[in-house]
């Protein structure tokens, strides 16, 4: 079976690359970025496309296509997730790799940006097949990833189990005395396989923290504020969990299967239990009613958290959005033109490269522990995460004020300036 891509999906992916380039060029123009450095940052350093065969449960062999794009490594090893989704292709990987460079730079981490994945619909495969696909993909990538070269992590439809398979496969290709030196080839691993306490919730907790910092700044009390979440996976669930603990009310959720609504509130824990028992779908949950997905973003609410795919908030739905704040848990959820509409309407947007950076910061903590043979406690991890996120948030707010720009442009300016400084100090080889 080969995965076909509809023109709608193709548009969505091309849109992401176009969006990230516009965001970059907008910030680069404002700071009058050195033209030579602009040329370097506009392109990706390395792009790998691998085709590999995997035996299916029925004995047939299927050929898969995997991608890994490494955008820039001036600040350190490449870092970024692996996504299993029919929309994964070279342009999607390029766009997402570029966002990773800006995200790691903004967070002050010693990393560059990368992204990749496999073009497939994981619901069509058994766990055994997914394991063989993952292991064979890892083998095909070979030493183009590595603990000091390029460190993948979970993204859409990949999780801690996927990372454990990658780690085990990668380590198995090394000599016995090299094996344990490679524990940090991936982050987001299960605790038993060298993962870190708190990495599971790091992205969603970070999304929550940025909302909390925003509320502190605007003197908004989060108690009883209504919020809606698109995507009830790792990021969406954990963001909702922490917001609910703060007293906010989850009123609607949308996932790949449909949308549900309850204006009195949806219990995040009950919904999680239901989704886990219902093959990942929210549909049929007894604590809410099904609603038309086309009306999701126009629901009455205070906060909207897109935590699924790119290009979800568009010129079509932006004029109808009622939320006062959009917190971008997903990468690239807001189209550039939609953002212009929202900013004109006074809607605040916490940009993805800030809002969901808790994930890569949590990954950095896992990488450091593996590298140093340390094991940190959960409270220690969350405390360090909060400190780093508060620092980044403060920097973005300050830059937005001083340059009189929106938060995304401010975040991009900080990220680009750090890279510019690095290139100016080091020069260009040879
Ligand atoms: P996940 O696979 O755990 O969950 C994805 C969720 O999105 C699922 O509920 C799925 O049903 C839903 N979804 C898929 N297609 C959809 C559609 N067309 N409409 C509505 N919902 C849809 O993935 P995740 O790890 O939570 O990642 C979500 C987003 O957050 C992605 O954009 C990812 O790049 C970003 N992100 C993830 C991390 C991380 O640590 N996992 C870090 C930073 C950013």
pLDDT computed for residue 2 by the predictor: 33
Q: Which of 201, 234, 281 to mutate to test the pocket of ligand 1 (most atoms within 8 A of CB)?
A: 234
Whether the Cβ atoms of residue 305 and residue 239 lie closer than 8 Å to each other: yes
Cis peptide, bond prior to residue 25, ω within 30 of zero: no
pLDDT grade for 180, boundaries at 50, 70 and 90: confident
Ligand 1, residue 232: give the atom nearest the CA. Answer: 9
Give the closest residue to 415 by CA, choosing from 95, 31, 68.
31
Do 239 and 229 meet the contact criterion of CB atoms below 8 Å apart?
yes
Checking if the pLDDT of 11 tops 70, the result is no
Please give the Cα distance from 371 to 55 (Å, whole number).
35
**Smallest Cα–Cα separation from 61: which of 114, 121, 149, 2?**
2
64 strand-pairing partners: 52
pLDDT at 14: 52
* Residue nearest atom 36 of ligand 1, based on CA coordinates: 330
Residue 359 CB less than 6 A away from ligand 1: yes
CA of 174 to the centre of ligand 1 (A): 32
Residue 7 pLDDT > 90, yes or no?
Answer: no
Quick: pLDDT tens for 217-247: 999 999 999 999 999 999 999 999 999 999 9
CA distances from 11 to 7, 18, 207 (A): 6, 10, 27
403 is catalytic: no
The neighbouring-strand residues paired with 116 are: 68, 82
With a 6 A CB cut-off, is 156 part of the ligand 1 pocket? yes
Q: Kindly give the distance from the C-alpha atom of residue 87 to the centroid of ligand 1, in angstroms, as a whole number.
A: 13
92 lines ligand 1 (CB under 6 A): no
- Tell me the mean pLDDT in the region 58-85: 98
**Contact (CB, 8 A) for 386 and 209:** yes
pLDDT of 1 strictly over 80:
no
Mind listing the pLDDT tens digit for each residue in 19-49? 999 999 999 999 999 999 999 999 999 999 9
The minimum-distance atom of ligand 1 relative to the CA of 360 is 42
Instruction: Name the DSSP class of 84.
Output: E
What letter does residue 346 receive in the DSSP assignment? T
CB distance 353 to ligand 1 below 6 Å: no
- Classified as helix, coil or strand, 1 is coil
The pLDDT-based confidence of 6 (bands split at 50, 70, 90) is very low
Cα–Cα distance between 172 and 175 in angstroms, integer?
A: 8
Query: In 94-189, where do the E strands start and end?
Result: 112-118, 150-154
pLDDT bin (cut points 50, 70, 90) of residue 255 is: very high
Which of 102, 156, 202, 364 for a ligand 1 pocket mutation test, highest count of atoms within 8 Å of Cβ?
156
Share of the chain above pLDDT 70, in %: 97
Separation of CA 158 and ligand 1 centre (Å): 10
> Nearest CA to 45 among 117, 144, 167?
144
Let me know how long the chain is. 430
Please tell me what DSSP assigns to residue 326: E
How far apart CA 332 and CA 426 sit, in angstroms, is 31
For the packed helices 407-426 and 90-106, what is the interaxial angle rounded to 10 degrees? 80
Evaluated on CA atoms 326, 256, 93, 311, the torsion sign reads: negative
Of 223, 227, 247, 224, the closest CA to residue 236 belongs to: 227
Q: What is the pLDDT of residues 286-323, one digit of tens each?
A: 999 999 999 999 999 999 999 999 999 999 999 999 99
Q: Cα(236)–Cα(238) distance, rounded to whole angstroms? A: 6
How far apart CA 109 and CA 162 sit, in angstroms, is 24
Amino acid 5: pLDDT: 41
Strands, sheet with 78-84, edge to edge from the N-terminal-most edge strand: 46-55, 61-72, 112-118, 78-84, 150-154
| Alpha-carbon gap, residue 313 to 9, rounded angstroms | 15
Q: What is the 3-state secondary structure (H, E, C) of 219-246?
A: CCCCCCCEEEEECCCHHHHHHHHHHHHC
| Interval 118-149: pLDDT, tens | 999 999 999 999 999 999 999 999 999 999 99
Give the angle 115-23-73 at the CA atoms, nearest 5°: 40
Does 109 have pLDDT greater than 60? yes
**pLDDT category of residue 325 using cuts at 50, 70 and 90:** very high
SS3 at position 66: strand
Residue 202 has a pLDDT of 98
Give me the mean pLDDT over the 337-352 stretch.
Answer: 98
pLDDT for the residue numbered 3: 36
pLDDT of residue 15: 86
Q: Is 255 in the pocket of ligand 1 (CB under 6 A)?
A: yes
């Amino acid at each position: 079976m080969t995965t076909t891509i509809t023109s709608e999906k193709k548009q969505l992916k091309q849109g992401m690359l176009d969006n990230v380039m516009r965001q970059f060029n907008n910030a680069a123009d404002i700071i009058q970025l050195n033209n030579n450095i602009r040329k370097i940052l506009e392109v990706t350093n390395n792009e790998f496309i691998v085709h590999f065969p995997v035996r299916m449960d029925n004995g047939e062999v299927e050929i898969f296509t995997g991608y890994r794009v490494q955008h820039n490594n001036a600040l350190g090893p490449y870092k970024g997730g692996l996504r299993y989704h029919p929309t994964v292709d070279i342009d999607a990987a390029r766009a997402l790799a570029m966002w990773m460079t800006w995200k790691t730079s903004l967070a002050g981490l010693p990393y560059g940006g990368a992204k990749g994945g496999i073009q497939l619909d994981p619901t069509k495969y058994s766990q055994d097949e997914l394991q063989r696909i993952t292991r064979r993909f890892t083998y095909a990538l070979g030493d183009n990833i590595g603990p000091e070269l390029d460190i993948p992590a979970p993204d859409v439809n990949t999780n801690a189990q996927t990372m454990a398979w990658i780690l085990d496969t990668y380590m198995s290709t090394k000599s016995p005395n090299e094996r344990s030196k490679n524990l940090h080839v991936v982050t987001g691993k299960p605790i038993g396989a060298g993962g870190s306490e708190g990495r599971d919730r790091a992205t969603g907790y970070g999304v929550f923290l940025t909302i909390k910092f925003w509320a502190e700044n605007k003197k908004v009390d989060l108690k009883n504020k209504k919020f809606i979440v698109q995507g009830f996976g790792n990021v969406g669930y954990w963001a909702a969990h922490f917001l609910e603990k703060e007293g906010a009310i989850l009123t609607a959720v949308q996932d790949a299967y449909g949308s549900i609504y309850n204006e009195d509130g949806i219990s995040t824990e009950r919904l999680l239990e239901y989704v886990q028992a219902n093959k990942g779908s929210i549909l049929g949950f007894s604590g809410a009613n099904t609603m038309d997905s086309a009306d999701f973003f126009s629901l009455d609410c205070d906060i909207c958290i897109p935590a699924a795919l790119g290009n979800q908030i568009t010129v079509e739905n932006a004029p109808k959005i009622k939320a006062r704040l959009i917190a971008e848990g997903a990468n690239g959820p807001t189209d550039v033109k939609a953002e212009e509409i929202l900013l004109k309407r006074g809607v605040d947007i916490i940009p993805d490269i800030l809002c969901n950076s808790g994930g890569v910061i949590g990954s950095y903590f896992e990488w450091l522990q593996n590298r140093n043979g340390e094991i940190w406690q959960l409270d220690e991890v969350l405390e360090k995460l909060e400190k780093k996120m508060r620092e980044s948030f403060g920097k973005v707010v300050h830059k937005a004020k001083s340059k009189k720009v929106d938060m995304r442009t401010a975040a991009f300016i900080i990220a680009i300036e750090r890279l510019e400084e690095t290139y100016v100090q080091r020069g260009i080889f040879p």
